[in-house]
Structure 1
Amino acid sequence: MLTSKGKKYLRKQSHDIQPIFQVGKAGVNDNMTTQISEALEKRELIKVSILQNNFDDNQAVADEIASQTGAQIVQVIGNTVILYKESVNNKQINLP
């Protein structure tokens, strides 16, 4: 579980990261969650953009992605979700 210090640190680290996945009107599917899991293993910290044509609640989309990938939600801000999952083989981020 992330502490408030950990979340603050990860928000700072994610500032310059561009979203690498987009959730559209089809919503979250198995293929997308598989790719997000693989990206989290390589990068540990990613952003996911939720497009305007997705009518689901942004927090609900973030919760669904997090539960299916085992990631932790750092922040949901606007239409962007910041996710963190500690990598097993490629640890890059050391939380305070």
Structure 2
Amino acid sequence: MIELTPTQRRAFRAQAHHLHPVVSVAGNGLTPAVLKEIDNALQSHELIKIRVYGEDRAQREQILTTVCSELGAASVQHIGKTLIVWREKAQPETNATGTPAERPKRAAAKAKSAKLLSARRGISSLNKAADKKPRWFPAPPKPSRGSDR
């Protein structure tokens, strides 16, 4: 379990103020599936709110300590039925050269599919008419407010 300084805790509380709960713990309690969802949410967002439906405050405290100890997270705040938890994102995996491992780029796949689609339609990838005219037009000059009053 990570310990936070009061300054860090205050900053995280301020960041979490506008967040909505991303995981709910209901009648079945803290099941392995719920714990896995909390882990996924922490990997994605670092700072999350968890809503616990239950009247017993001691049970909510137990859920908070279990989440923090099993997932290596820090407890930021427990207010009412809402728990705020933080865990630093894991660094991306690096390959042998020390650079981050590359993931396939969606933009490249979209560009390739757009190129294939335009080729099917008979549109060349370089539109000559679009190359001749600029994409933006400058605004006309504003009249000066001289001393001609």
TM-score > 0.5, shorter chain as reference: yes
What letter corresponds to residue 62 of structure 2 in structure 1? A
| 2:60 matches 1:64 | no
Partner residue in 2 for 1:94: none
**Deviation (angstroms), 1:18:** 0.2
TM-score scaled by structure 1?
0.85
Give structure 2 stretches of 5+ with no counterpart: 93-149
Q: 1:53 to 1:43 in 2, by over 3 A?
A: same
Deviation readout 1:21-77 (Å, 9 max, x if unpaired): 111111101111111111101100000001136786211111111112111110100
What letter corresponds to residue 28 of structure 1 in structure 2? L
Please give the residue correspondences for 1:3-82 in structure 2 after superposition, counting only pairs within 5 Å. Answer: 3-52=5-54, 57-82=59-84
**Deviation (angstroms), 1:80:** 0.3
Task: Find the aligned partners of 1:32 and 1:42 in 2 and give their Cα distance.
Answer: 15
TM-score scaled by structure 2?
0.56
RMSD: 1.8
Q: What is the percentage of aligned positions where both structures have the same residue?
A: 28
What letter corresponds to residue 7 of structure 2 in structure 1? K
Q: Is the 8 A contact 2:25 2:52 kept in 1?
A: yes
Q: Runs ≥4 in structure 1, deviation > 6 angstroms?
A: none
Q: Is the 8 A contact 1:34 1:69 kept in 2?
A: no
> Aligned pair count?
90
Higher relative contact order (CA 8 A, sep 6+): 1
Bigger-Rg structure (1/2): 2
Give structure 1 stretches of 5+ with no counterpart: 91-96
Q: Is the 8 A contact 1:23 1:54 kept in 2?
A: no
